[in-house]
Amino acid sequence: MQASIDELCSLDEEVIADAKTFDIRHDEHSEKVSWKILPDNGYTKEDDYPMVAYPKEASFNVDIDFGEVDRYEDLKEIFFEHFFPDVVGHAQWINDFHSDPRSPMFTTIQNDNIIFHDPDNEDPDWIVKQCYLMMVAAATESEVGVENLWKRGPTGGRRDYPDFGQCLPRNWFVAFQCATGYMWSPKKYWYQEKHNKQWDIFVPAMDS
């Protein structure tokens, strides 16, 4: 994406002023997206871009008989096998991310002995999957902020706090949040300063 922007900015001002389209790619392997540049006081008309004809009936890539699913573990397996990007190996990579002193949570990781990769479990990445499921569950809660999700007992209203601590300690989840966004990207992006970060970090996750 940045290469396309740099290419446009390198052109003469007169050429840019007369440009009718702008072609952009996320990277050299992705498809080109062509943007139409309208003149001053030019506007897009509805007839220029007719609505895409969407199918009237829902179709699924995988036929899943949810009537046969009666266990939480079965639902979890279906979710990660058919609906979520592959996270195999992410537990070890998160360990690697936090083993470097440049990790924002390096000290906490050492003090709390936080380890995501569980080699003794049938699924060494189960803690990472647990964290993603907790993110999904958090979307159904009204509490604001990670800290409130770990509170327990009455809220003062008509419901109790979520008490996520029964699933995982809070610092473990914060450590997961800190690293998981980088787990699809090359390691060269792991410890960049905020003002140097580019969208290239997230492209592999979006393409997966």
pLDDT recorded at residue 180: 93
**pLDDT tens per residue, range 85-95:** 899 999 999 99
Higher pLDDT, 49 or 136: 136
pLDDT tens by residue, 119-152:
999 999 999 999 999 988 888 877 667 778 888 8
Q: What is the pLDDT of residue 107?
A: 96
* Region of poorest pLDDT, from 45-49, 149-153, 174-178: 45-49
Higher pLDDT, 59 or 48: 59
Token reading at 38: 């309208």
CB count in 10 Å sphere of residue 19: 12
pLDDT of 108 > 80? The answer is yes
The pLDDT value recorded for residue 171 is 94
Does residue 165 or residue 129 have the better pLDDT?
129
pLDDT 10s digits, 96-106: 999 999 999 99
pLDDT band, residue 65 (cuts 50/70/90): confident
Average pLDDT over residues 52-66: 74
pLDDT at residue 23 is higher than 80? yes
Mean predicted confidence (pLDDT) in 166-175: 93
